[in-house]
């Protein structure tokens, strides 16, 4: 986002100014305090949705998706509608966003028309470049590097289930890419604990691990990466997996299926976790591959709570970035 915002900030309250007109390209765009503020607001919006109706009236959101989506698209669209705003979806699955013109030119158009842009892209640099050139908030709805909205919703769901996140450990078993990266960074911000097990060659990016460790040093989080799924899951409070073959990697599906087979989350692996451990998945799930039916359909599974959390968290993100309503918060009634 350039410093030459089209918006005027005179009417916004102090809390709004901290978020107002910022981008969410990476979890690293939020300080640990800001990440907690997003989750707190999401909790308030979930508890009192009627207090936020109309909070983004007159606001417009454009969404450009180069990859398919069920949850991310619909939770953004339904969330925006519930706040009184409108959204425009542009299907970019047949061509990359910048196939016709440069990203900087697209950014300079969009900022004249709409209030926020949401992007799902193959290259993280597409989201980053849009954010650099557009003077309106740009939100990453999944790139190959990160899925920040997902990780925020996942930790929101874990907080609902367990309370203090500093007392739990998440085990992530599978591919160390976008979802694992954002979970690592969110865990670090929240002072929680995470142990990631990936096959050799599929570890999280060294840069993301280093960033998470720097944040963890500040927050007291514990961030560990290993290759043994049983080591990761042993005693864990939550066991998380993601698809073995992410969108855009379909040509690698066969080779990945054999590499990742020992990382399947099944009842045997779940039995190593803490007695009250939950199962998590960002979805869509490839049943019979990274997770068995007996685990994802069990009473331990909270995958649909996660999916619901996407809506509450993204509404909070939109409200904070668009400056549409901190002054509408029912502060007195909430604390009454
Ligand atoms: N978890 C997630 O992002 O789902 P979609 O790909 O359906 O948006
Ligand atoms: N890692 C997966 C996440 C889907 C929500 C992918 O990128 O396809």
Residue 54 lies in a domain: yes
Residue 92 lies in a domain: yes
User: What's the distance, CA 95 to chain centroid?
Assistant: 24
Residues 218, 311, 104: CA angle, nearest 5 degrees: 75
Same-domain check for residues 128 and 270: no
Residue 231 lies in a domain: yes
Q: Is the CB of 226 under 6 A from ligand 2?
A: no
Q: Is the CB of 314 under 6 A from ligand 2?
A: no
- To the nearest 10 degrees (0 to 180), the angle between helices 148-162 and 178-190 is 50
Residues 130, 137: Cα–Cα separation, whole Å:
10
The mean pLDDT value of the chain amounts to: 92
> How much distance in Å is there from the Cα of 143 to the middle of ligand 1?
11
Percent of the chain clearing pLDDT 90 (strictly above) = 90
Q: Is the CB of 283 under 6 A from ligand 1?
A: yes
Instruction: Assess whether pLDDT exceeds 90 at residue 234.
Output: yes
Instruction: Assess whether pLDDT exceeds 80 at residue 163.
Output: yes
Ligand closest to CA 247:
2
| Section 160-177 average pLDDT | 98
Residue 334 lies in a domain: no
pLDDT, position 228: 98
Residue 335 lies in a domain: no
Same-domain check for residues 168 and 244: yes
User: Residues 31, 56: contact at Cβ < 8 Å?
Assistant: no
Same-domain check for residues 152 and 59: no
Residue 304: phi and psi, rounded to 5, are -85, -25
Closest CA to 312 of 153, 161, 151, 189: 153
Same-domain check for residues 177 and 317: no
Same-domain check for residues 283 and 315: no
Q: Is the CB of 150 under 6 A from ligand 1?
A: yes
- Mind listing the pLDDT tens digit for each residue in 286-317? 999 999 999 999 999 999 999 999 999 999 99
Same-domain check for residues 25 and 115: yes
> How much distance in Å is there from the Cα of 10 to the middle of ligand 1?
37
Residue 333 lies in a domain: no
* Torsion angle (degrees, nearest 10) of CA 220, 225, 230, 236: 20
pLDDT, position 20: 77
Residue 330 lies in a domain: no
| Section 179-200 average pLDDT | 98
Per DSSP, the three-state class of 38 is helix
Residue positions annotated with a catalytic role: 120, 147, 150, 242, 282, 310
CATH number for position 99: 3.40.50.1370
Same-domain check for residues 192 and 231: yes
Residue 88 lies in a domain: yes
Same-domain check for residues 164 and 265: yes
pLDDT band at 327 (very low <50, low <70, confident <90, very high): very low
pLDDT, position 137: 97
Residues 139, 235: Cα–Cα separation, whole Å:
35
Same-domain check for residues 267 and 157: yes
- Mind listing the pLDDT tens digit for each residue in 267-292? 999 999 999 999 999 999 999 999 99
Q: Count the domains in the chain.
A: 2
Instruction: Assess whether pLDDT exceeds 70 at residue 12.
Output: no
Same-domain check for residues 169 and 60: no
- Specify the residue with its C-alpha closest to ligand 1, atom 1: 282
Same-domain check for residues 239 and 317: no
Closest CA to 281 of 71, 42, 39, 67: 71
Same-domain check for residues 273 and 316: no
pLDDT, position 333: 37
Which residues are CB-neighbours of 29 under 8 A, at least 6 positions away? Answer: 22, 23, 148
- Specify the residue with its C-alpha closest to ligand 2, atom 7: 246
pLDDT, position 1: 52
Question: Ligand 1: which atom is nearest the Cα of residue 283?
Answer: 1
Domain extent for 212: 148-306
User: Residues 92, 118: contact at Cβ < 8 Å?
Assistant: no
């Amino acid at each position: 986002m350039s410093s030459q915002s089209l918006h005027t900030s005179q009417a916004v309250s102090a809390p709004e100014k901290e978020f107002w007109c910022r981008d969410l390209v990476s979890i690293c765009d939020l300080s640990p305090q800001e990440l907690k503020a997003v989750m707190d607001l999401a909790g308030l919006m979930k508890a009192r949705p009627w207090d936020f109706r109309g909070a983004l009236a007159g606001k417009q959101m454009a969404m450009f998706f180069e990859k398919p989506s069920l949850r991310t698209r619909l939770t953004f669209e339904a969330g925006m509608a519930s706040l009184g705003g409108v959204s425009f979806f542009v299907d970019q699955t047949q061509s990359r966003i910048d196939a016709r013109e440069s990203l900087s030119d697209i950014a300079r158009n969009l900022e004249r028309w709409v209030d926020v842009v949401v992007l799902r892209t193959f290259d993280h640099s597409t989201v980053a470049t849009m954010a650099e050139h557009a003077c309106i908030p740009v939100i990453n709805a999944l790139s190959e590097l990160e899925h920040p909205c997902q990780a925020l919703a996942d930790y929101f769901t874990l907080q609902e289930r367990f309370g203090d996140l500093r007392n739990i450990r998440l085990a992530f078993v599978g591919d160390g890419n976008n979802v694992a990266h954002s979970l690592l960074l969110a865990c670090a911000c929240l002072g929680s604990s995470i142990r990631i097990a990936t096959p050799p060659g599929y570890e999280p990016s060294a840069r993301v691990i280093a960033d998470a460790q720097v944040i963890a040093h500040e927050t007291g989080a514990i961030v560990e990466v290993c290759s043994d799924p049983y080591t990761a899951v042993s005693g864990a409070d939550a066991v998380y997996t993601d698809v073995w073959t992410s969108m855009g990697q379909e040509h690698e599906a066969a080779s990945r299926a054999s590499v990742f087979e020992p990382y399947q989350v099944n009842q045997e692996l779940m039995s190593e976790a803490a007695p009250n451990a939950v199962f998590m998945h960002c979805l869509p799930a490839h049943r019979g591959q990274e997770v068995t039916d007996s685990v994802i359909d069990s009473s331990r599974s909270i995958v649909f709570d996660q999916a619901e959390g996407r809506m509450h968290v993204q509404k909070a993100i939109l409200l904070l970035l668009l400056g549409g309503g901190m002054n509408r918060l029912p502060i007195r009634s909430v604390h009454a």
